[in-house]
Amino acid sequence: MPDAEGQAWFELNPRDGFYIPAGTDHQYDNMSGEQVEPVFGVAPDY
């Protein structure tokens, strides 16, 4: 859902996955104040 500046944001919960296309500007923020452990995966370019 776009915010006031037209930026899209998504809330992820434990065990959720998210795909970001190559070349897409993005940023990660932890809004909970609790410690998190992110896991990243990178798919090969076929």
pLDDT one-digit tens code per residue, 1-46: 456 676 778 888 888 988 888 888 888 888 888 998 888 888 887 7
How many degrees, rounded to 5, is the angle at CA 32 between CA 25 and CA 7? 30
Q: How far apart are CA 46 and CA 31, in angstroms?
A: 35
Please report the pLDDT score of residue 5 as a whole number: 72
Whether the CB-CB separation of 9 and 1 falls below 8 Å is answered with yes
Please report the pLDDT score of residue 26 as a whole number: 83
Please report the pLDDT score of residue 28 as a whole number: 86
Q: Looking at the whole model, is its pTM more than 0.95?
A: no
